[in-house]
Amino acid sequence: MKTILLTGGTGFIGANLCRRLLHEGCRVICVDNNYTGSMENIREILQNPFFSFVEHNICFPLDTLFGGEKIDQIYNLACPASPRFYQGAHAVETTKTCVLGALNILELAKRHNAVVLQASTSEVYGEPLEHPQKESYRGNVNPVGVRACYDEGKRCAESLFFDYRRLYGTRIKVVRIFNTYGPFMDPDDGRVISNFICQALTGREITVYGDGSQTRSFCYIDDLIEIMLRVMNSSDDFTGPLNIGNDDEYTIKALAECITAKLGGRIVYKALPADDPVKRCPDISLAKTMFDWEPKVSLDEGLCRTAAYFKNCIGQYKK
């Protein structure tokens, strides 16, 4: 049985990944400080004998947390992923989580000779001048903008991962995650799909920023988890970076109209936030070629599943 450490495990992606790993027969150690995650997301698996939760901030070393237990694999998902949480008062903490957190995780991986997967982001491409974005594209990031704590933090983390590979032979994987959605999203995290669905379900106006012509691609969580597992369990020769996401592209306006058609609501338009990319869509040719993978869940089906999840927990968040 593999023992797998997962940081950020009470967050959206982490909570889904914990369940999949348990289903695969793994021993799972979930580490989180619950800044943006929630214990509600893992409540039903807390009693699983192969699952344990450790409350910890990865800005601080993890050496003494596991009582000598051997770690086989590490998924580093810990970091706020929504501008609502990483901008402003929490900007410095976000950079520290990206950089100091990566260092602590890499040191742990080196000591255990564990394979470690870094959940990087499409934000490393910034406001892309290449479309769709290939892994070879070096990006167009504003290093002093309001989003830089996250964008540059993740870029620095990638650099550390590859330096550890070059200097110490650390067994690394780096994936760049594009927009993802599904159950266990925080309804108040400010991401576009959770925003739109929760606004519609609670009778509020559907808020589109800008004129809605900006584009995104949306990957359902089950598809994302599948490719993450394939990457983690691939040969040590494959390090990435690898784009993972859905290459179907939609305007934000089209997304809003799709959700209002399903759930009702009225669309309103507000000013576009600073440094918000106009286009964002992955080139996933490498994932298709290397891992025989491509998304299977359509946007229509994924939105229905996600709306059903939010309907079930409608009383648990602020309207």
Q: Whole-prediction pTM value?
A: 0.93
**pLDDT tens, residue by residue, 267-277:** 999 888 776 77
- Flag whether pLDDT at 83 surpasses 80: no
CA quadruple 94, 96, 99, 101: dihedral positive or negative? negative
Which sequence positions are flagged as catalytic?
Answer: 150
Strand partners, 219: 180
**pLDDT tens, residue by residue, 102-161:** 999 999 999 999 999 999 999 999 988 898 999 999 999 989 988 888 899 999 999 999
Beta-carbon contacts of 162 under 8 Å, excluding residues fewer than 6 positions away, are 172, 174, 239
CA quadruple 97, 36, 29, 171: dihedral positive or negative? negative
**pLDDT tens, residue by residue, 166-185:** 999 999 999 999 999 999 99
**pLDDT tens, residue by residue, 184-201:** 998 887 789 999 999 999
Q: Is there a contact between 46 and 23 (Cβ–Cβ < 8 Å)?
A: no
Beta-carbon contacts of 123 under 8 Å, excluding residues fewer than 6 positions away, are 141, 147, 150, 151, 154
Q: Is there a contact between 118 and 74 (Cβ–Cβ < 8 Å)?
A: no
Bond prior to 241 in cis (omega within 30° of 0): yes
pLDDT above 90 covers a percentage of the chain that reads 77
